[in-house]
Structure 1
Amino acid sequence: MKAIVINRYGGPEVVEYTDLPDPKIGPDSVLVQVRAAGVNPVDWKIRDGALDGLLDVHFPLVMGWDVAGVVRAVGGGVTEFAPGDEVYGYVRKDAVEHGTYAELVSAPVRTLARRPAALDWAQSGGLPLAGLTALQALKAVRLEAGETVLVHAAAGGVGHLAVQIARARGARVIGTAGERNHDYLRGLGAEPVTYGEGLAERVRALAPDGVDAALDLVGRGAVQVSAGLVADPGRIASITDFGVKALGGQYVWVRPDAAGLAELAALADDGRLTVTVASTFPLAQAASAQALSAEGRTRGKIVLLVE
Structure 2
Amino acid sequence: MKVETLRWSDGVLEMIDQRVLPATFIYLSYDSAAAVAEGIRSMVVRGAPAIGVAAAYGVALEALRLLSVTDESFQRGMNEGFNTLAQSRPTAVNLFWALARMKQVWQSVSNESNRQVAMCLLAEAHEIFAEDIRINRALGSHGAELLRDGAHVLTHCNAGALATAGHGTALGVIRSAVEAGKKISVIADETRPFLQGARLTAWEMVQEKIPVTLITDNMAGYMMSRGEVDAVVVGTDRVAANGDVANKIGTYMVAVLAQRHHIPFYVACPLSTIDMSITSGVDIPIEERHADEVKGFRDFHWAAQGVQIRNPSFDITPAELVTALITEKGVIHQPDAGKLRTLFS
What TM-score range do you get, normalising by the shorter chain? 0.3 to 0.5
Radius of gyration: which is bigger?
2
Higher relative contact order (CA 8 A, sep 6+): 1
**Comparing both structures, which one devotes a greater share of its residues to helix?**
2
TM-score, normalisation: structure 2 = 0.36
